[in-house]
Amino acid sequence: TDEGLSRIFRKYHYKFDSIEQPQTSSKDGRKYFVLNLEQREKIGGFETMLLYVDAQTYFIQKAVASDGRGKETTIEFSNLEINPDLEDGQFNFHIGGNAKIINNPLVSEQ
């Protein structure tokens, strides 16, 4: 969402990973804009991220994030579809009685 992107850019310094953009992936041959993000304030969570943005669709295809202890997390997105027809109630979410809710700092100010 626009709100999520705005939050990321407020919380992270960002720049292209290299001068040559878009970059061609040796894995799939597709072209990506690669953004390097670094936390403005070291507050925990992901301190650095690489975002791979498809050069044709502008969808984020992959995110590689690292925390302050060197642990790396990779998330890859595939089969993305814009505004698919979904049945009402397909995503009913019920919180269990003993569940603890933790807000994602990338998308929530709380």
Please tell me the predicted confidence (pLDDT) of residue 50. 93
Residue 23 lies in a domain: yes
Greatest CA separation for the chain? 51
Does 86 fall in a domain?
no
Q: Are 63 and 74 a contacting pair, CB within 8 Å?
A: yes
- Domain carrying residue 11: 2-76
Q: What is the DSSP string of 3-15?
A: HHHHHHHHHEEEE
Model confidence pLDDT, tens digit, residues 15-39:
999 999 999 999 889 999 999 999 8
What's the total number of domains in the chain? Answer: 1
Q: Is residue 25 part of a domain?
A: yes
As given in the structure block, the two tokens for residue 49 are 């991220």
Contact 34, 17 (CB under 8 A): yes
Q: Are 8 and 109 in contact (CB under 8 A)?
A: no
Q: Is residue 82 part of a domain?
A: no
How high is the pLDDT of residue 33? 95
67 belongs to a structural domain: yes
pTM of the model: 0.73
Whether pLDDT at 92 is above 90? no
Find the CATH number of the domain harbouring 61.
3.10.450
95 located within any domain: no
66 domain residue, yes or no: yes
